[in-house]
Structure 1
Amino acid sequence: MTTTGEALISLLEAHGVDTVFGIPGVHTIELYRGLARSKIRHVTPRHEQGAGFMADGYARVSGKPGVAFVITGPGLTNTITAMAQARADSIPMLVISGVNKRDSLGKGLGFLHELPDQRGMMEKVALSSERIDEPAALAGAMARAFALLSSGRPGPVHIEIPTDVMGLPAGDVTFAPVRDRPATPDSAGIARAAKLAAAAKSPVILAGGGAKRAEAALHRLAELLDAPVVTTANARGLLHGHPLGVHASPSLKSVRALMAQADFIIAAGTEFGPTDYDMYADGGFAAPANLVRIDIDATQLARWPAAVAIEADASTAIEALLAVLPTGKKSGGAARAVAARDAAWQEIGPAMQDQVKVIETIRDALPGAIIVGDSTQPVYAGNLFYDHDRPGGWFNAATGFGALGYGPPAAVGAALADPSAPVVCLSGDGGFQFTFPEMGAALDAGAAVIFVVWNNRGYREIETSMLDAGVEPVGVSPAPPDFCRIADAYHMPAERLMSTESLPAALARARSLGKSCLIEIMVA
């Protein structure tokens, strides 16, 4: 007899899932019945929030949905923060949870882990939430979940299974394959965009996270139009080292000036979110004229007016545009790009320039690395100005939802998704204290993560903001522990640096170990 829990594992395998992140509990035991016999790897975090962040990091690097198993009640509420981060950054994540038995739901009887309306709560965060009230509903719910995760604008999806359904006979479970049918760009919209592009004398391209897998097409488009390409934080790595690349935030005045001087802009895969376009909340960003927007989500397209709105995957739309554009022309793109880059570098100032140089040191010491950031000073600086050498290899939680503690678990997920790449978690001492127990999960899973802790002994970015606002700083100096001794307690190699001058050698030593280790940088 195949139970519903066993059928779930079979369906996950059929949908291409090879890794799940979760902490088993009495409310999910039946979901684990078939897991040990499957080809799916189970990774145990130290907290359910870590399960969600690991699934997030895994999804960003692998391009496949990250999957988390959590118990009902507190397990699921602990995962909500990670789901909200995934929702903000359009990351495909499937969260499968238990829920109490069917005849108890909504009655307030005081069962263990009981919530008044668990699925109602999840519907506020997830793209969808379904309950499996009978075994026959499982296959259809899974098919719908993976359809949402693989088409349109992705995000977190939730499925809950009551404890009294998990062990029921599943009967014949038919796998329904997901047929990904990406939207075909409207030919009339492509023609209008091409006409505007052909007439432009100073075009600019804006690339967001939705374009991070469209580098080849974006590269050709930029050169055809001779257009500078401004990349948001989640698009860093596109056009690395290219003369037309402007790896600087559109929140900077210098980059806004480049956009204001353009007579035509193509925006691909960017939602124009304030954490990218108005980070300082000064209201200085305005929607450009002659704007062509490319986005996979019609709802997103409706939020910003555009001369032409094209609903399609970024790569598909750009390829369609390339097919009808005339031969290339010159518009002084390289000169405009270098002027914007130089002005942006000066605008961020010496302190942030020094922090960007730290990130560049990591990049140059570990070519092709995946740098997973938390909300810490060098990450903020890098989001303002930094040119990574791998598309999709720079991501963090300092934009969008902004969940502190994201870095360590997300880096574990990233390392498991691509074991061949160097993976660096760049975290501050404050944020690292949120989730540093996930070092243990990295060791358990054999994930090689270099944990780099920027130790300035507190929440310095918040302290600076309080001082700038004329508020006496309070609560911004949580005492950090001895991180090297904590690493030693996990039997993890660690070293402390008193300056960044010795960072390249430390990174080389860390990479040569082939396993997780910690580097603490003491900041004066």
Structure 2
Amino acid sequence: MPTVGEALVARLKAHGVSHVFGIPGVHTVELYRGLASSGIAHITPRHEQGAGFMADGYARASGKPGVAFVITGPGLTNTLTPMAQARADSVPMLVVSGVNKTHTLGKGLGCLHELPDQLAMSRTVSIKAEQVENSESLIPAIDAAFEGMAAERGGPYHIEIPIDVARHEHSKVGKAPELPEPMAAEAGQIAKLAEALMSAQKVVVLAGGGAKRAEDMLGQLAEKLDAPVVLTVNARGMMHRHPLGIPASPSLNAVRAVIAEADMVLAVGTEFGPTDYDMYALGNMPEMKRLARIDICAEQLARHEAEMTLKADAGAALAALLDAVSDKPIADGAERAELARKAAWAELSDDYRLMCGLLDVIRDARPGSLIVGDSTQPIYAGNLYYDHDMAGGWFNAATGFGALGYGIPAGIGAQFAQPDRSVVVIAGDGGAQFTLPELMTAAQENLPITFIIWNNGGYGEIELTMENADIDVVGCDPKPPLFGHVAASCGMPYTKVAAEPEALREALMPKAGQSGPVMIEIDAPFIAS
């Protein structure tokens, strides 16, 4: 008979899991029984935070849940930050951890890696955290996690398995159940919303990350309604260069103006988070008339007042709306969008326009690439204004939870999810140092990732914030390593360039016989935004 550990691996395989990111330890060795022969690839990061961020990047790039294996105690605490980032950005992630023997839990016996209540701690960031109490409860716990990640808003799920239970015998695993179909909106709600959209004269659509896998339907609906589409950070890449697309932040005055001019606003898969809609911390949201919302999460729909709310999968709802609305006469939708784009671009500082230009260089040199970012100045600039050429191809940790150290490991996870695509990671010298050892994971796996380090010699944005608040600057100058030496120690080619488009374009050109990861350092003394 298989053990619980073997049954775990078999059930993950049955749910289509192809990659697991984890660091084995004495509390998880039984979870690895059968993994080597399962066909599931195991990737070993250098830190559990890296495992969690890799699972996140894998999920965003693949559309499937990312899976991480971590030990009890420090393994799980190290993974809490990636879990919180995944929750903030609705990223489906399954974290499977060990935990001490059942009879020791909560007794404070001083066991290795002991926590007072590991499950309670995990529940502070998990959508659901569950302990496998016996062999019979394993399969229901796994199936419930995958069903939740398929049917509801994405986020982290945690399953912990006591080390004694992991060794128990388990009966035949069986076939995994069919996952639920995307949630559709009620026909009556679709008809009511379609009628309202058709009666409005100037519709604006706000698209969030929940809509990024429904690009074609979103574009078709926008064309039918002659409606400009404002793309939040996690929706960037949709409607690339489309006349109705506005790839700019709704925190910008120009974008707020086009939203305020609308007589109806349709928001699809966006939670109205301040890091998208109030980046400058003004304490207010864009003015919206007759707001209608489509979101898969009832809790999100309840957080902002709206005239109409539809609890539904974005793709299913947009498909139904396409059938319910007819073409409006083309009026001024494209003109409104163009004016908003031009005015938004004019709002940016010269330095931010330079950085956005560098992003355009990367996109044009590596078309159809995944650009994965950390919290660093070029990413802040791109989050304000950048038109990527692939839906879901631009994502970073500079919104929502905002965890530093995200970019390098998330890019590794994304490369495993999309091995035939180019992956470019953009990290600052400060954020890169949070997870710098993960460069060796990319080197060991020979992943063709381009790591771009924006080196402005410290925490430039925080320094500026302290100065603007009339606070003596302290702690903003962590000395960066010599990145050329770091690259050499990892065995990867390295180039250093100035923050100038032609120099970056030259550095991005493929080199004959080159494979595996490369590093490009951009020498960029702090640029005030």
**TM norm. shorter chain > 0.5:** yes
Structure-2 residue corresponding to 1:336: 336
1:468 CA displacement? 1.5
User: What are the Cα deviations for residues 464-505 of structure 1, in whole angstroms up to 9, with x where unaligned?
Assistant: 111122222111111011011011011111111134331112
1:147 maps to amino acid: E
User: Would the aligned equivalents of 1:259 and 1:288 in 2 still touch at CA under 8 Å?
Assistant: yes
Stretches of 4+ aligned residues off by more than 4 angstroms: none
- Distance in 2 (alpha carbons) for counterparts of 1:213 and 1:513: 33
Alpha-carbon separation, structure 1, partners of 2:54 and 2:513: 24
Match of 1:276 in 2: 276
Deviations 1:253-301 (CA, angstroms, capped at 9, x unpaired): 1111110010011100000000000111102314512111010111111
The answer as to 2:120 corresponding to 1:109 is: no
Aligned to 1:361: 361
Provide, for residues 46-98 of structure 1, a one-character-per-residue CA deviation record: whole Å limited to 9, x for no partner: 00000000000000011100000000000000000000000000000000000
- Note the C-alpha offset of 1:513: 2.4
Alignment-mate amino acid for residue 397 of structure 1: A
* Aligned mates of 1:195, 1:510 — CA distance in 2: 56
1:362-391 per-residue CA deviation (whole Å, 9 max, x = no partner) reads: 001110110000000000000000000000
1:182 positional shift:
2.4
- Give the C-alpha shift of residue 164 in structure 1: 0.6
1:24 maps to amino acid: P
**Cα drift, residue 313 of structure 1:** 1.0
Residue in 1 aligned with 2:508?
507
Whether 1:300 aligns to 2:300 is yes
The match for 1:522 is 523
Note if contact 2:250-2:286 (Cα within 8 Å) is conserved in structure 1. Answer: no
1:352 is paired with a residue whose SS is: helix
Higher deviation after alignment, 363-372 or 301-310: 301-310
Aligned residue type for 1:523: A
1:259 alignment partner in structure 2: 259
Q: Which residue of 2 aligns with 1:7?
A: 7
Correspondence 1:222 to 2:222: yes
Secondary structure of 1:513 counterpart: coil
CA contact (8 A) 2:14 2:176 kept: no
Contact 1:450 1:510 in 2 (8 A): no
Residue 83 of structure 1: aligned partner: 83
Mean CA deviation greater in 89-98 or 181-190? 181-190
Q: Which moved more, 1:7-16 or 1:491-500?
A: 491-500
Which amino acid in structure 2 is aligned with residue 357 of structure 1?
Answer: G
2:160 alignment partner, SS class: strand
Corresponding position of 2:403: 403
1:444 — aligned with what?
444
Task: State the partner residue of 1:434.
Answer: 434
Shift of 1:178: 3.7
Aligned equivalent of 2:243: 243
Q: Secondary structure at the match of 1:424?
A: strand
Q: CA deviation at 1:318?
A: 1.1
Distance 1:511 1:480 in 2: 30
Distance 1:317 1:173 in 2: 36
C-alpha distance in 2 between matches for 1:297 and 1:522? 43
Alpha carbons of 1:510 and 1:232: their partners in 2 closer, same or farther (altered >3 Å)?
A: farther
Residue identity opposite 1:431 in structure 2: G
SS at match of 1:129: strand
SS at match of 2:348: helix
- The aligned residue for residue 55 of structure 1 is 55
- In 1, the alpha carbon distance for the partners of 2:253 and 2:80 equals 35
Cα separation, partners in 2 of 1:84 and 1:67, compared to 1, 3 Å: same
Contact 1:136 1:173 in 2 (8 A): no
Distance in 2 between the 1:197 and 1:220 partners?
14
Distance 1:458 1:207 in 2: 34
CA distances 1:27-58 after superposition (whole Å, capped 9, x unpaired): 10111111111100000000000000000000
Q: After alignment, is 23-32 or 280-289 more displaced?
A: 280-289
What corresponds to 2:97 in structure 1?
97
- Identical-residue share of aligned pairs (%): 55
How many aligned residue pairs are there? 524
Letter in 2 for 1:407: G
For 1:111 and 1:261, locate their aligned partners in 2 and report how far apart those are by CA, in whole Å. Answer: 63
Cα offset for 1:512?
Answer: 6.7
Unaligned 5+ runs, structure 1: none
1:481 maps to amino acid:
P
Give the structure 2 partner of residue 129 of structure 1: 129
User: What are the equivalent positions in structure 2 for 1:471-482 lying under 5 Å apart?
Assistant: 471-482=471-482
User: Secondary structure of 2:292's match?
Assistant: strand
Tell me how large the CA RMSD over aligned residues is. Answer: 1.2
CA distance in 2, matches of 1:286, 1:85: 25
Corresponding position of 2:68: 68
Q: Report the AA paired with residue 122 of structure 1.
A: S
Letter of the 1:341 counterpart: R
* Partner of residue 464, structure 1: 464
The reply to whether residue 494 of structure 1 matches residue 470 of structure 2 is no
Task: Indicate whether 1:172 and 2:156 are aligned.
Answer: no
Question: Counterpart of 1:521 in structure 2: which amino acid?
Answer: I
Q: Distance in 2 between matches of 1:76 and 1:184?
A: 36
**Structure 1 SS opposite 2:390:** coil
What's the offset of the Cα at 1:511? 9.3
Between 1:287-296 and 1:359-368, the stretch displaced more is 287-296
| SS, match of residue 95 in structure 2 | strand
The amino acid of 1:459's aligned partner reads Y
Gapped runs of 5+ residues in structure 2? none
CA distance in 1, matches of 2:247, 2:32: 45
Q: Which residue of 2 aligns with 1:196?
A: 196
How far did 1:514 drift?
3.1
Residues 140 and 176, structure 1, Cα contact 8 Å, conserved in 2: no
Per the alignment, in what secondary structure is the counterpart of residue 409 of structure 2? helix
Question: Structure 1 counterpart of 2:365, which letter?
Answer: A
The answer to whether the Cα contact below 8 Å between 1:208 and 1:271 also exists between their aligned partners in 2 is yes
Distance 1:432 1:269 in 2: 30
- 2:160 paired residue number: 160
Contact 1:496–1:519 under 8 Å retained in 2: yes
Offset of residue 326 of structure 1: 2.2
Deviation at 1:22, TM superposition (A): 0.2
Give the distance between the partners of 1:113 and 1:206, measured in 2 at CA: 46
**Correspondence list, 1:137-152, <5 A:** 137-152=137-152
Q: Using the alignment, how far apart are the partners of 1:345 and 1:188 within structure 2?
A: 41
TM-score, scaled relative to structure 2: 0.97
Counterpart Cα distance in 1 of 2:132 and 2:354:
53
Superposed displacement of residue 348, structure 1: 1.3
1:433-489 superposed Cα distances (whole Å, 9 cap, x missing partner): 111110111122232211000000011111111112222211111101101101101
Q: Describe the SS at the equivalent of 1:515.
A: coil
> One-letter code of the match for 1:349?
S
Q: Post-superposition shift, 1:154?
A: 1.2
Of 199-208 and 495-504, the range deviating more from structure 2: 495-504
* In structure 2, distance between residues paired with 1:397 and 1:19: 22
Contact in 2 for aligned 1:91/1:156 (Cα 8 Å): yes
